[in-house]
Structure 1
């Protein structure tokens, strides 16, 4: 009997069990649902919804196509994706999950990326946002702003490493890379100075063509962006509430304590403190609960192990985020398994980087210098935090554009030097 044949009845049996537990523990289920709703309303809605709307509008205006043409020399050699993936990466790292998946799905719908390129892109652009990592986790859960630096280095550094590793994904399946529609032989002058101007001209043409094809007025574009963003943010909220209730029901049924015990034994085998099992299992389901459990773990546990557990949880994302991404990718042809594999690699790399960088970062005074920077306090769940995220987005895109524009100029100069 295949898994598909038993999968349906098994899922029905599990859901029936959950319904029975809800009837037996109605007050606990309601309290868990309210906690999930509070997380959605207080944290996720204000931090994600503006980026959902902005990304939709930028797609309609052709700005993504503009960045796609400009960033192609940087993104394709490094990550095996077209330049439009650079914009997705910047938005994903600044605004957090599941914005990267949403934009990847949009690019896939517009046929700007292939299936393999989409799987590469969503695999390494799904990450925590700085507001949550620096504000909620470092300051809120661990009550130590100096931990923000090592968490950021481990989480985002390992994310880029995953992007480099994912460039090898699907090479045998991918016959030819997606072609940049703005490229032609006439667009690439031989002189280094014209190289950059030619690409800028082609990028502006791509933006104009995308805007012409969209054809909607700004008012229609804004209305559509708000409608689609509301639909997605409601799905995100529903999944957060569902997984909060599910965890409460598993705890009431005695299943979670058994999972804690099993995880504790596994953690001990790899040399970690078994007391972190509760945080890791909680983070398996929901990232916020898991990160909070890591921060509130027993004081007898070495701090570096608690931070490593938090980095693991942030990079894994929790089954709640996995369900959000799976719902977004549904119908795009992008497979879930590469995403799952990338999350596991990201989690292990992030935890390992915390351990490796602990002494160099925390023992060198860098963490103390970090606390004095405005960035250590700007990323909080507030209006100033959103402003700081937008500023960071602009900085990342500007740096990526500068590097991307300099690459063809540098290559052209090398060719001229070889000829001479």
Structure 2
């Protein structure tokens, strides 16, 4: 009961703060909306749709059968989980949690295996690291390789560490008849026509991205209100923070709630480049409560527990910092990668798919009404 009272008090407090400072809420909401519909939506949507299609067509089962042996040896995971992990590296979070929830719902993996997969298959989009962080925020494209190596290396080490997590009470059944048989069995189990499968993939992906957008907007507003009303200053005053280390704590405070804001603040501060890179690695590894809330919402419909994921994020942050320190200590020259997603192009992609999803939804509703009549 006290938890309910506490939650009600905190929510009411933030509602009052938003009413007293509507301009701060509006500006921060615009900032979050700008991130979502110009970058997050167009970069994640194609991967979400393709993942749904690959699962329905049996492609994940096919490649999962091929990679089954390797995944069992290194990570104690079945083959389909390995395919999901590889796809999550390319698409970024929270696609790994989404694919793990799907595999768990289908019964392809056990709960322990799903928790291992959620812990491991959680990394940032390469486009965000190389384009937004390295080229945009830091204005130093050559640092993109260092950040990517530390971040993805940390995710791999998390996978190795979680190999020893949990006792396997049950084990998923993997057919030994070959990859082709697994492909045919998965396609037969799904049974939908391609047109229906594609419509379901678009609608499901847009729905998930709407949920992600809501979390991004909410935590952007929350972080702005906490900073504006002096919550950050109060916390800093209680800690032995010196003036020289204040930018570090400010970036960590922002990144604790919202990843993009924390990374941007770490890059734009007066800190030296090595310190900024270490700080960015730590923030990317933890991901921020905004992303945590997205993952928790996605896995809430399954029996996957949030605790292992939280522990994995602290571990990921630690591994990424250690790897970044090692990379900075070795004088290695790396090529500069300068990728960019033009915001206007991202906005047009978002509008196009939103219109397509609306049309598909309207078509579905009219079709269902016709069947009833």
* Cα distance in 2 between the residues matched to 1:295 and 1:140: 9
The answer as to 2:209 corresponding to 1:249 is no
Match in the other structure for 1:307 = 277
Match of 2:187 in 1: 211
* Alpha-carbon distance change, 261 to 124 in structure 1, aligned in 2, over 3 angstroms: farther
CA displacement at 1:93 relative to structure 2: 0.8
Match of 2:214 in 1: 238
1:285 is matched with 257
**2:310 matched residue in structure 1:** 340
Query: Is 1:161 matched with 2:157?
Result: yes
Could you state the TM-score of these two structures normalised by the residue count of structure 2? Answer: 0.89
* Structure 1 residue 152, shift from structure 2 partner: 1.1
- Select which of 82, 87, 97 maps to 2:83: 87
1:220 aligns with 2:216: no
Report the counterpart of residue 364 of structure 2 in structure 1.
none
| 2:123 aligned counterpart, secondary structure | coil
In the aligned structure 1, how far is the partner of 2:58 from the partner of 2:99? 13
Contact 2:110/2:170 (CA < 8 Å) preserved in 1? no
Q: Distance in 2 between matches of 1:145 and 1:264?
A: 35
- Contact map agreement 1:276 1:294 (CA 8 A) in 2: yes
Alpha-carbon distance in structure 1 between the residues aligned to 2:238 and 2:51? 42
How far residue 381 of structure 1 moved from its aligned partner, in angstroms, is 2.0
Classify 1:263/1:358 alpha carbon distance in 2 versus 1 (closer, same or farther; 3 Å). farther
1:263–1:281: 8 Å Cα contact kept in structure 2?
A: no
Aligned to 1:356: 326
CA RMSD of aligned residues (A): 1.8
In the alignment, structure 1 segments of 5+ residues that lack a partner are 188-201, 387-420
- 2-side partners of 1:226 and 1:236: how far apart? 15
- Displacement of 1:212 after TM fit? 1.0
Tell whether 2:280 aligns with 1:320.
Answer: no
1:264: how far off?
6.4
Give 1:28 deviation, angstroms. Answer: 1.1
Cα distance in 2 for partners of 1:284, 1:96 equals 18
Equivalent pairs counted in the alignment come to 345
Unaligned runs of 5+ in 2: 347-373
Once residues 240 and 118 of structure 2 are traced to their aligned partners in structure 1, the CA distance between those partners, rounded to angstroms, is 31
Cα distance in 2 for partners of 1:263, 1:21 equals 25
Deviation at 1:209, TM superposition (A): 1.2
Asked if structure 1 preserves the Cα contact closer than 8 Å seen for 2:111 and 2:303, the reply is yes
* 1:263-274 matched pairs, under 5 angstroms: 265=241, 273-274=245-246
Q: State how far apart, in whole Å, the 2-side matches of 1:279 and 1:261 are.
A: 16
| C-alpha separation in 2, matches of 1:49 and 1:30 | 26
Aligned to 2:173: 179
Deviation at 1:278, TM superposition (A): 0.7
State the Cα distance separating 1:51 from its structure 2 match: 0.8
TM-score by length of 1: 0.79
> In structure 1, what is the Cα distance between the partners aligned to 2:108 and 2:57?
15
Look up the SS of the partner of 1:179 in the other structure.
coil
Q: Find the counterpart in structure 1 of residue 340 from structure 2.
A: 380
Q: What is the deviation of 1:380?
A: 2.3
Once the two structures are superposed, the pairs formed by residues 30-45 of structure 1 within 5 Å of their partners are: 30-45=26-41
* Equivalent position SS for 1:30: helix
Q: In 1, Cα distance between the equivalents of 2:62 and 2:323?
A: 35
CA distance in 2, matches of 1:255, 1:87: 43
Q: 1:296 to 1:231 in 2, by over 3 A?
A: same
Superposition map of 1:21-170 within 5 A: 21-170=17-166
